[in-house]
A and B are shown apart, each in its own frame.
Chain A
Amino acid sequence: MTSLKGQNIRILLQEGTKFKVVGKSTNCTVTLTGNTDDASTKDDVALASKPEITSKSWSVQVESLDVTDTAAVLNAIKNLTPFTLIWDETATADNQTAQAAAYSRKGQAYLNDVTFQWEDRANSTKQLQFTGSGALEKVSTAPEMEIVTVDGAYTKGQYVRLFLGSDNSAVPAKIVAAAKSLSLHVSMSLEDATTKDTTGDWQVQEPTALSYDISSNALVSSGDTITSTVQGQDFASIEDIYEAGTPVRFQIANVSGANNRTKGAIICSGSVVVTQLTLNAPNRQNATYDTQLTGYGIYQVGA
């Protein structure tokens, strides 16, 4: 017997009438949860609990090396439109053609959590979480697929950088200097909207609130050196922003050129407040600092 390998279980998202795999996927997780209510009473002489399934819920996580669709994903999470998705076994010939496996299921789900990670000298990643709303159904016939072109293209993290302003009006011109990593996390809160009117055991979800945060890690260097050479934000200048306590403008943009600081197409922009600043000074290692920025108002996709 040969066990099934992970590359042949994939998440398929509906686009139009066809389904497409999440391209450049590296992992996926499907979680089916039985939500319980303890039915033990004083009539039970034993001490054990008696969990009874009262509702069912499900979620799907996907990790991928494709971040070329950052803008589309950032729009999708705030558009509040549920996706139709399937998990299924795929043919070994292309790892894409769905097979309608016995465990394959189809349902509607909200994209409710997204993280993009741009790490220096590493392939950039995205993590998507979908939370199901309503029932799952068995997939009896293989869905019609649109095969995704495998283009062998990846985004190295040093080519996407954070620009941070010193106020909430001007276009941010200063890059976070000597940066090692950058991540953008967007979360849509969902609330259980299942009522007595709902048929079946499946929980129904409704989106209620959107929040986002940005995390940056950078080396601590001389502020004078950084300012004079790359005109960047450093620990000292970000500390000033923290102490001012007011929102500042940001942009996450493609960069190129010397020191990777020439701004190209903007991926997203908005306003943030500095909610945490951590200085790390381990013995005989580079001192670094972590900046956590929390979104103030909605972000804009693009400039």
Chain B
Amino acid sequence: MSKEKEQKQQVATGTAAPETPVILRAKSREELDTQFQELKAKHDGHTLTAGAVARSKDDGTYILRVDIN
């Protein structure tokens, strides 16, 4: 998946289900949790499910895949 596509998915708003999965990336776990909560708030009425958090061995970025139905 291209970076442009990921960024587009992350800012998707409104009531229509966005193209999923959404890949959240953050420098810290706290920031990642905040992004997840913001995403949940943006998609009130949809079911958001998260996978296990992974951490990049290259730059330490935390990555969370979120599926929205």
Give A contacts to B, CB under 8 Å: 66-72, 75, 116, 118, 124, 149, 151-156, 159-160, 254, 256-257, 264-267, 301-302
Contact = CB atoms under 8 A, between A and B. Distances in A.
B21 interface: yes
Contacts of A264: 29, 32-33, 36, 53
A64 to B, nearest CB: 12
B52 A254 contact: yes
Contact of B49 (A75, A118, A124, A156): A75
A266 B53 CA distance: 11
User: Majority SS of interface residues in chain B?
Assistant: mixed
Contacts of B67: 71-72, 75
B54 A153 contact: yes
Tier of interface size on chain B: 20 to 34
Contact of A153 (B1, B21, B50, B57): B57
A171 B11 CA distance: 31
B21 A72 contact: yes
A67 B61 contact: no
Contact of B53 (A75, A149, A159, A257): A159
Contact of B63 (A70, A124, A151): A151
A301 B54 CA distance: 18
Contacts of A156: 55
B47 interface: yes
Contacts of A254: 50, 52-53, 64
A154 B61 CA distance: 11
Contacts of B64: 68, 254, 265
